[in-house]
A and B are shown apart, each in its own frame.
Chain A
Amino acid sequence: MRRDARDKLSEDAGPVPVQSRPAIRRELKLQREADGAWLGKFADLPGCERIASCTQCGACSAACPLSIYMDVTPRRLMALVRSGFRSEALKSRSIWLCTSCYACVAACPQKISVADLMFALKREAIETRVYPKRFAVPVLSDEFMNMVRTRGRSSDFWLAARMTLRSSPAALFGMAAIGWRLWRAGRLRLSMEGIHLLAEFQRASLARKDAA
C-alpha cells in the first residue's frame, strides 16, 4: 500500500522521493544549496518563533497522520528549514500533504507550530512557483481564494468544479455521480451569494498588495 501510494503520488506531484537518491550525493548537494539567511524569515512568523529550539525528537512525525505518505517527514523538514536548505524544503511533497490537523502542534514539547510552518512553506512555494503544474492542492487554494476575494464566500459545488477543471478535467465525469446524489439529498447549492460589505475588504487587500 505504502509503495503504491508513493508511486501514484509522485506521478501527481512530480518530485522524486529524497530517499531514492544516493545518500552521499544528497549531502554534497545540500551543503552547496544551504541558504543561511533563510531561517531569519521565520523568526517573526506566528507560532514559529522557537523554531531554532527544535530538538529533533520526532514527536511531530510520530503524531502526523500523513507522514507515511511524505517524502520528507515533519521532523526532517524542521531540520532542513533550520539549516537553510530552502530548495529541498520547498520542493518536498510533504508541505502539500499537510492537512493542518495540528496533531504535530499538540505533540511538540518545544511548542513549535509545525502546522504554521507548513503554511509558510506552502506560501513561499506558491510565490516562487515551485510546484508541479496541474497539482490539485495549490490549485484548490488558488481557486478558493479567488472565489472568496470576489464573492466573500465560497461554494462547495463551484469550488470543486473549478478545481477539477484546472487540475484533472477528466475527473469531472467521476464527480457527476457524487454530485447527483448530493443534489437529490438537497445538499448542493448552485447559487452563489455575494456579500455586501466586500468592497472595504477588497480595498484593504489591494492597498496591501501595492505596499508589498
Chain B
Amino acid sequence: MTGSSAPANGTKPKQYSYYPGCAIKGTGIAYEESLLEVYRLLGVAWQELTDWSCCGAQAYMTVDAGQSCMLSARNLRIAYQSGSHDIVAPCSACYLALRKCKDYVERYPRMREVVGDFMPASDLQAIANVRVRHALDMLYVDIGPSAFRARATRPWPGGKVACYYGCQAVRPYSEVDRDGNPMRMDELLEAVGVPVAQWPLKTKCCGSSHTGTLHEVGVRMGYLLLKEAVRRGAEAVITICPLCQFNLDVYQKDMTRSTGESFDIPILFLPQALGWALGADHRALGLHRGISGAETLRRWFAGPREGASDG
C-alpha cells in the first residue's frame, strides 16, 4: 500500500516508511484507517514497509532478547533499503522495539554480534541511518499544531477528552515527548478545538497483556485510569497505542462488574479526533468500531440519520 499526493511546489515530497505492526491490522484497525485518512487529507506521502514482520515485542523479549532484536533489525533494514528512512510506527510497543534494537546495535557489542548472525556488517551500519518515529512524534514535529489549526474545518461535537500517552511511547526513549507530563497530544487536540481535561495519569500503565493473563489485575489498572479521567470531567479518552485503546475500550463491562461503578465512555485514537476536525467521514476514520460508548460515538459523529447503522 502506498499513499501520495501531487506536490504543490514541484519538489519531491518526503516519503515515510509506514510500519503498521500486528495489532493495527486486527483489533486496532481504526488506528490505521484514521491515520492514513489524515495523511491523505494532508497530502503526506507514505509507503507501507514491504514484507514487514513482528517487531519482537515484549512477549518475544521475555523468551529470547537476541531474536527479538533481530526481528526489529529486519524491519529497519527493509526501511533503509526502501529509501524512505523515516519509519513511522503508530503502535507504541513497535516504536519501543525498533528504538531499542537501534540502541542495542549501536551501544552493545554482544547484541551487534547476535544481530550480525542475521545480516552483514554493512546492513548493521545502514540501519543506524533509519530514524524511528512514533505517529505522535511525526504528527507534532513534521506537521505541527499550527498546520492542524489552519486546516481544521469542523468543530468538536463532544465534551472534554483525557489525553492518554501510555508507557512505551514516552519511556525509556522519551524522544516522542517528556515522560513527566507530556503535552504534545494535548496541544494538537487543542489546536483543532478539542477541549482537553487536566489529568495526571497520562503515562500510567494500561495493564498491558494482563487483561488476558491476570485478568483482574489488568482490568483494575484500566479502571483506575478511567475513574480518574471521568472524575476530571473527561467524556472520552484519546490514545496513541492499540493496546491502550483495546484495554480501556473492551473491558469497561468487566470494570463495572468488579467495582459496581458504571463505565461507558468512548476510547479513541488521536488521528480519529484530528481527522474529524479536518472534515473526514466518520466511517473513513473507523469511528464506528468502538465497543464502549457506542451510543456517545453515534451521537457525536454519525448524526441522526446514520444512527441506526452498525459495525
Interface of A toward B, CB cutoff 8 Å: 5, 8-9, 12, 44, 46, 65-66, 69, 97, 99-103, 105-106, 113, 115, 119-120, 122-123, 126, 136-142, 144-145, 148, 152-157, 160, 163-164, 167, 178, 181-182, 184-189, 193, 195-198, 200-201, 204-205, 207-208
Q: B51: shortest Cβ distance to chain A, in Å?
A: 5
Decide if A65 touches B311 in the complex (CB within 8 Å). Answer: no
For the complex, would chain A's binding face be called helix, strand, loop or mixed by DSSP majority?
A: helix
Q: Which residues of the partner chain A approach B110 to less than 8 Å between Cβ atoms?
A: 44
Stretch at the interface among B5-13, B24-32, B34-42: B24-32
Q: Which residues of the partner chain B approach A139 to less than 8 Å between Cβ atoms?
A: 213
Q: Which residues of the partner chain B approach A152 to less than 8 Å between Cβ atoms?
A: 53-54
Q: Which residue of A has the minimal Cβ distance to B288?
A: A185
Chain B interface extent, by class: 35 or more
Q: Which residues of the partner chain A approach B216 to less than 8 Å between Cβ atoms?
A: 5, 8
For the complex, would chain B's binding face be called helix, strand, loop or mixed by DSSP majority?
A: loop
Q: Which residues of the partner chain B approach A100 to less than 8 Å between Cβ atoms?
A: 58, 61, 167-168, 208
The 7 closest A-B pairs by CB, nearest first: A101-B167, A99-B208, A102-B171, A136-B213, A144-B59, A101-B205, A204-B118
Partner of B217, one of A97, A178, A184, A205: A97
Q: B201: shortest Cβ distance to chain A, in Å?
A: 10
Question: Do A65 and B212 contact each other (CB < 8 Å), given the known contacts A101-B171, A156-B26?
Answer: no
Partner of A195, one of B29, B53, B172, B221: B53
Question: Do A136 and B70 contact each other (CB < 8 Å), given the known contacts A185-B290, A186-B29, A187-B29?
Answer: no
Decide if B62 touches A138 in the complex (CB within 8 Å). Answer: yes
Question: Do A201 and B214 contact each other (CB < 8 Å), given the known contacts A185-B291, A186-B289?
Answer: no
Decide if A148 touches B204 in the complex (CB within 8 Å). Answer: no
